C-alpha cells in the first residue's frame, strides 16, 4: 500500500463511500422500505440479472404475492408463471419453500437472526448478509461479485475471486469496513459502486468517490483486477423438437418432470441427439426425432424443419432444431402432454426458449420467417 496506512485506507473507503451513496443512490423499489420480505425477493431476483430487468418483475411479483404468507400459500404454477423470463427457476421454488418455512416456524415474519435466516432454503451467505444488513441494519457483510471487484481493486488484492477461500477472506474484510450503525447503507453503497462506477470493464475511475486511495488505480491495475479464473464453457447439447399441430391449430406440449432442470415448466416435446451431424441432417433428423418420441409413447410424423433456437444455461448450451409434425396415429397423447391454443399458452409457465418459439408460432411469425404456411 502506498502513502497511507491500512487503518486509514479502510476508514477512508467507508467514509467516502457512504458520503457518495447518500447523495447518488438510485431510487429502486426495494429501497423504499426496510421490508425484509421485499429485500429478500429483490436479492434473489438480482442474482445474475440486471437491475433494469428485475424492476418490473419485482413490482409484479410483490403485487401478486404482497406478503410472505401469500407467497407460501400460492400454487407453485402461479409462482413459476410470475417468475417466467427471469430464468433459474429453482430460485423461485426455493424462495417459496423458504416462505413456507417462515410461515411455519416464525409466524410469517422474516427472522432477524443470522442462524435462522441462513437456514432458510436457498439463502446463502450473500443473501443472508443482505437481508440482515439492509432490513435490520445488522453488521453482516454481503459480498457478491460487485463487492469483490471493488475490494480487489481498492486494496489491490491478487487472489482469485473464484476461489471459496478468497470469498471468505473478503467477507472478513467487508465486515471490518462496516461503520457502526451504518450496515444497511454501507453494504448497498459497495454494491452500488460496483454496479455503476467500478464496472467489470472500463471502470469510471475519474467519477469514483474512493479513487484517491484506490490501490489498484494507483498501481495502474484497475483494468487487470480482479483476478478470476475462467469457468469451463457450457457443454453443447443438440436437441430436436416437434411442433405438432392438430386440425384445430392447437399445439401439443408437455410438462417437464417435477425434479431437475426447468422442473414443471412446459415445453415442446424434444429429444437429445448425441451426433451434431445427425441433428443437422434433413434425412436423419426426422427419423431420429420420431423414433425417440415413439419410445416415450408419442407417435408423430415430422414434416418440415422450421426453425433453430439456442439457449445457454450455466453448464449447458442447448442447440434446438424445430420440426413441424403431425400425429401419426389415433392414440391419445402420453401422460404429461396436452393440446393448447393461444389462450392456454398464456396461462402456462415456459422456459424462455420455448416461450419465444411458441409466441412466434401463434402470431404467425415463425412460419412467415421460414417461408411456409401454418397447418
- CATH number at 57 reads 1.10.340.30
Query: Residue 214: which of 151, 123, 125 has the closest Cα?
Result: 151
Residue 153 lies in a domain: yes
Which of helix, strand or coil describes residue 326?
A: strand
Q: Which of 43, 84, 171, 222 is catalytic?
A: 43
Is 25 or 364 the better-scoring residue by pLDDT? 25
316-327 vs 235-244, strand pairing mode: parallel
Lowest mean pLDDT among 246-250, 271-275, 323-327: 246-250
Residue 375 lies in a domain: no
Residue 116 lies in a domain: yes
Kindly state the cell numbers that stand for 208.
469514483
Measured CA to CA, the distance from residue 315 to residue 310 in angstroms comes to: 14
Averaged pLDDT for residues 222-245: 94
Residue 353 lies in a domain: yes
Domain termination residue (choose one: 165, 183, 218): 218
Measured CA to CA, the distance from residue 121 to residue 73 in angstroms comes to: 16
Residue partners of 66: CB distance under 8 A and separation at least 6? none
Predicted local confidence at residue 365, as pLDDT = 74
Domain termination residue (choose one: 164, 183, 218): 218
236, 319 contact by CB (below 8 A): yes
Predicted local confidence at residue 257, as pLDDT = 92
Residues 322 and 362 in one domain: yes
Residues 74 and 21 in one domain: yes
Of the pLDDT bands very low, low, confident and very high (cuts 50, 70, 90), residue 375 is very low
Q: pLDDT digits over 162-213, tens only?
A: 999 999 999 999 999 999 999 999 999 999 999 999 999 999 999 999 999 9
Residues 239 and 140 in one domain: no
Long-range contacts of the stretch 96-104 (C-beta < 8 A, 24+):
96/71, 96/72, 97/121, 97/122, 98/122, 98/123, 99/68, 99/69, 99/71, 99/72, 100/72, 102/68, 102/72, 103/68, 103/69, 103/72
Residues 122 and 157 in one domain: yes
CB 47: neighbour CB atoms within 10 A?
15
pLDDT at 21 over 90: yes
Residues 142 and 66 in one domain: yes
pLDDT at 124 over 70: yes
Residue 155 lies in a domain: yes
Of the pLDDT bands very low, low, confident and very high (cuts 50, 70, 90), residue 374 is very low
Measured CA to CA, the distance from residue 215 to residue 235 in angstroms comes to: 38
Q: How many domains are contained in the chain?
A: 2
307, 366 contact by CB (below 8 A): yes
pLDDT at 2 over 90: no
Q: Is the torsion defined by CA of 262, 264, 269, 272 positive or negative?
A: positive
Q: What is the pTM of this model?
A: 0.86
Residues 210 and 260 in one domain: no
Residue 228 lies in a domain: no
293, 271 contact by CB (below 8 A): yes
Q: Is 43 one of the catalytic residues?
A: yes
Residues 174 and 295 in one domain: no
Residues 109 and 186 in one domain: yes
Q: What is the dihedral of CA 170, 176, 179, 183, to 10 degrees?
A: 50
Kindly state the cell numbers that stand for 236.
453443447
Lowest mean pLDDT among 5-9, 129-133, 163-167, 222-226: 5-9
158, 71 contact by CB (below 8 A): no
pLDDT at 1 over 50: no
Domain termination residue (choose one: 218, 243, 276): 218
pLDDT at 50 over 60: yes
Residue 250 lies in a domain: yes
CB 159: neighbour CB atoms within 10 A?
15
With 0-12 / 13-18 / 19 or more C-beta atoms within 10 angstroms meaning exposed / middle / buried, residue 123 is: buried
DSSP 156: T
CATH code for position 356:
3.90.79.10
Residues 80 and 23 in one domain: yes
Lowest mean pLDDT among 154-163, 215-224, 232-241, 362-371: 362-371
Query: Residue 150: which of 237, 88, 69, 209 has the closest Cα?
Result: 209
Measured CA to CA, the distance from residue 60 to residue 332 in angstroms comes to: 38
Measured CA to CA, the distance from residue 249 to residue 324 in angstroms comes to: 12
Residues 194 and 251 in one domain: no
Residues 194 and 256 in one domain: no
**Residues of the domain holding 336:** 235-370
DSSP 245: B
Residues 26 and 163 in one domain: yes
Buried b (16+ CB within 10 A) or exposed e, 245-264: beeeebbbbbbbeeeeebeb
Residue 172 lies in a domain: yes
The helix or strand, by DSSP H or E, that contains position 73, with its residue range, turns out to be helix 68-73
Amino acid at each position: 500500500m502506498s502513502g497511507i496506512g491500512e487503518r486509514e485506507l479502510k476508514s477512508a473507503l467507508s467514509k467516502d463511500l457512504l458520503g457518495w451513496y447518500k447523495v447518488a443512490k438510485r431510487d429502486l423499489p426495494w429501497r423504499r422500505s426496510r421490508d425484509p420480505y421485499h429485500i429478500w425477493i429483490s436479492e434473489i431476483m438480482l442474482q445474475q440479472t440486471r437491475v433494469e430487468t428485475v424492476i418490473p418483475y419485482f413490482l409484479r411479483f410483490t403485487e401478486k404475492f404482497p406478503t410472505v404468507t401469500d407467497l407460501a400459500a400460492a400454487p407453485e404454477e402461479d409462482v413459476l408463471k410470475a417468475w417466467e423470463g427471469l430464468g433459474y427457476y429453482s430460485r423461485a421454488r426455493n424462495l417459496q419453500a423458504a416462505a413456507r418455512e417462515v410461515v411455519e416456524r416464525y409466524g410469517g415474519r422474516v427472522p432477524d437472526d443470522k442462524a435462522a435466516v441462513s437456514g432458510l432454503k436457498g439463502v446463502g451467505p450473500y443473501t443472508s448478509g443482505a437481508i440482515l444488513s439492509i432490513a435490520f441494519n445488522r453488521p453482516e457483510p454481503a459480498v457478491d461479485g460487485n463487492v469483490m471487484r471493488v475490494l480487489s481493486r481498492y486494496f489491490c488484492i491478487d487472489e482469485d475471486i473464484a476461489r471459496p477461500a478468497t470469498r471468505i477472506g473478503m467477507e472478513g474484510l467487508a465486515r471490518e469496513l462496516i461503520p457502526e450503525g451504518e450496515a444497511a447503507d454501507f453494504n448497498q453503497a459497495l454494491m452500488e459502486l460496483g454496479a455503476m462506477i467500478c464496472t467489470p470493464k472500463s471502470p469510471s475511475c475519474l467519477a469514483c468517490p474512493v479513487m484517491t486511495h484506490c490501490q489498484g488505480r494507483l498501481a495502474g491495475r484497475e483494468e487487470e483486477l480482479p483476478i478470476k479464473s475462467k469457468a469451463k464453457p457450457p457443454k453443447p447439447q443438440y436437441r430436436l423438437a416437434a411442433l405438432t399441430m392438430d386440425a384445430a391449430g392447437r399445439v401439443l406440449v408437455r410438462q417437464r418432470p417435477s425434479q431437475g432442470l426447468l422442473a414443471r415448466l412446459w415445453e415442446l416435446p424434444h429429444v437429445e441427439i448425441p451426433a451434431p451431424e445427425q441433428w443437422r441432417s434433413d434425412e436423419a433428423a426426422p427419423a431420429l426425432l420420431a423414433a425417440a418420441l415413439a419410445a416415450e409413447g408419442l407417435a408423430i410424423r415430422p414434416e418440415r424443419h422450421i426453425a433453430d433456437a439456442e439457449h445457454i444455461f450455466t453448464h449447458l448450451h442447448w442447440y434446438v432444431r424445430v420440426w413441424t409434425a403431425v400425429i401419426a396415429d389415433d392414440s391419445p397423447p402420453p401422460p404429461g402432454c396436452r393440446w393448447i391454443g393461444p389462450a392456454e399458452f398464456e396461462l402456462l409457465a415456459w422456459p424462455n426458449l420455448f416461450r419465444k418459439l411458441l409466441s412466434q408460432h401463434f402470431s404467425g411469425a415463425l412460419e412467415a420467417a421460414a417461408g411456409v404456411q401454418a397447418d
